[in-house]
Amino acid sequence: MPDTAVTEFLGSLRRVISNVHLYPAGHPQSEVALDMLMETTGSLTAGIDGVVLSIMDNAFYLDRTLLPQESLEYRDLYRLFQERGLDSISLEGRPSSGDLGELAAFLAKDGSDIPADGTIRLNERPFNRSELVKFASMSQIRHSYTASLDFLQGVADSMEDGEGADISDAVWTVEQLLEQVLLQPGASLLLSSLKTHDEYTFYHGINTALLALTVGQRIGLNTEQLVQLGVGALLHDLGKIRVPVEIIQYPGRLDDKMWTEIKRHPHEGAQAILAGTGEGQEIAALVALEHHAQYDLTGYPDIGRRERLHLYSRITSICDVYDALTTRRSYKRAMPPATALQTIVAGSGTQLDPDLVQVFVSILGIFPAGSLLRLDTGEVAAVVTAGHDGETMTAAIAISADGERVSVPETFMLEASRVTGLLLPEDVGLDAATLLEASQLAID
C-alpha cells in the first residue's frame, strides 16, 4: 500500500472524531468528513483482506510496520486510543460507513463499543508484544520528542491567553532530549529529520534543539551549559506564535508590512520568555532575540554595539537555518540535506560563525543521515551515518534499480563517488527516517 495511505487514514479519522462534537448527526460537514474517511480507508485496505493498527510504547504500528512519523504527528489520536482502552483496531476488508461512524463516535467518547459482528474489531491484535517490540529501538527518544511537542503546545496556549511563556518545564524537557542525544547521537540526528509543515514552529524548535545539543556536545560544553543551550534553541522561534498564521504560511513574496510583522518575532519571543518563569530564562530570551541577527550583525534586530552574538545564539542560528532549509512548507519544497549544507557553508563568515559551521559540517558529513541518494546503478540509497572522511558513509538500498521497494534494507559502506543525484522524500515516495528506524538499522 502507498506510504501516504495510513497518514491520510489517520488524518481523516481525526477529522471525523472532531466533527462528532462540532456537528449533529447527519450534518453536511460530518457527511463530507465521513466520506473522506471511507475513501482513505479504502485506499489503506485496497487489495488485501484487512489491516491492523496497533499502539505500543508511544508508537503506532500498521500490522508489523512501525510508523515513526505518524506516531509523532498523530499523538492526540494515540492518547485517544489509550483513554478508550484500545491497543489495536482491525479493519476487515473495506469497512462500512456505519462501522466507521461508530468507531469515530466511540473514540470521541460519544458512543458505546462498536458492534462485534461488524467490519471493525477492537483489541483483537494478532501480533504479540514480542513481535512489535523489536522495532521500537527509538521508543525512548520518540517519547522525549513527543513530550517536547506537548510542552511547546502548552507554552503556545499560555501565550495565546495573553500570559507570559512559563518555561519552568523547559529545563526538564531539554534534559530528556539531552539524555537521548548522549545515549543515541545518531538516532537523535535521524529523528531531527522528521518534518511536518502543519506544526512547523513546534517541530522546528525541537529539531533545532536536537541539532544544537549535538553541536554543543561536540565542542565540549558541560551538562549545565548544554541544558541552557537546549532551552534557548527549543524556544528560539517562540515569537512566531504571535505572528498571524496567514503571514507565516504566505505562499509568495512578503510585502513590507508582512516583513515587518515577521521581523517582530525575535522581540516577541524574548519578551514572552522574560515575562514568564523558569530557570535560565535570561539566556533563552537572548537566544530568541539574537538568532536572526547574523554573525556579522547585519541581520535583525539591531543589537546595538555588541561585538558578537552569544555562543548559544550562534549555534542556534546554524541549526535554525539548516532545519528551515530542509523542511517542506506549504509554500516551498525542502532542500536535500546536502544542498542545505552547501547553503550553510556559503553563509560562513557573514551570516554564520565560520568555526561553528566547520563543526556542524563535520558532524553531519557531506551527505547527512537521512539523505536520499541516487546511485550510479540507478538504485536509491538512504544514508544511515555519515563517514568521518567525507568519502564514505553507511547507507542502505531503499529502492532497487528496477524501482522496487526493498523490504528489508541492509547496510553497506557507500563511497561518495557513486552518488549521481540528491532526492527528496516526495521524489520517491518514502521518508528516510521512517525507513531506517522501521528497518532496525544500526545508526550509531
Q: How many Å apart are CA 312 and CA 435, to the nearest integer? A: 33
**Residue 327 CB partners (closer than 8 Å, separation 6+):** 195, 197, 200, 203, 204, 207, 334
Does residue 270 carry a pLDDT above 80? Answer: yes
By three-state DSSP, how is residue 368 classified? coil
Average pLDDT value for the chain: 83
pLDDT digits (tens, 9 = 90+) for 224-267: 999 999 999 999 998 988 888 788 878 778 888 999 999 999 99
Percent of the chain with pLDDT over 90: 33
Does residue 203 carry a pLDDT above 70? Answer: yes
**Which range, 110-119, 195-204, 274-283, 420-429, is most confident?**
420-429
Task: Characterise 237 by phi-psi region: left (phi > 0), alpha (psi -120 to 50), beta (else).
Answer: alpha
Percent of the chain with pLDDT over 70: 84
Query: What single-letter DSSP state applies at residue 334?
Result: P
Q: How many CA atoms lie within 13 A of 246 on its CB side?
A: 3
Residue with cell 563517514: 387
pLDDT digits (tens, 9 = 90+) for 349-360: 999 999 999 999
Largest Cα–Cα separation, the chain: 74
**Letter string b/e over residues 268-300, b meaning 16 or more CB atoms within 10 A of that residue's CB:** bbbbbbbebebebbebbbbbbbbbbbbbeeebe
- Give mean pLDDT, residues 119-148: 69
Q: What is the pLDDT of residue 146?
A: 78
Provide the Cα torsion 243, 328, 432, 154; round to 10°.
10
pLDDT digits (tens, 9 = 90+) for 65-114: 778 778 878 888 988 998 888 888 999 888 888 899 889 988 988 766 66
Query: What single-letter DSSP state applies at residue 110?
Result: S
By three-state DSSP, how is residue 377 classified? coil
Provide the grid cell at 207. 529539531
Does residue 185 carry a pLDDT above 70? Answer: no
pTM: 0.77
Does residue 442 carry a pLDDT above 50? Answer: no
Cβ 316 vs Cβ 213: under 8 Å: no
pLDDT digits (tens, 9 = 90+) for 370-428: 889 999 999 999 888 877 666 788 888 989 999 888 877 778 999 999 999 999 887 88
Provide the grid cell at 158. 499560555
Q: What is the pLDDT of residue 391?
A: 78
Q: How many CA atoms lie within 13 A of 255 on its CB side?
A: 2
Provide the grid cell at 117. 459482528
Q: Which of 116, 119, 108 is nearest to 25 (CA)?
A: 108
What pLDDT band is residue 199 in, cutting at 50, 70 and 90? low
Q: What is the pLDDT of residue 134?
A: 52
Domains assigned to the chain: 3-133 (no CATH), 139-364 (1.10.3210.10), 372-438 (no CATH)
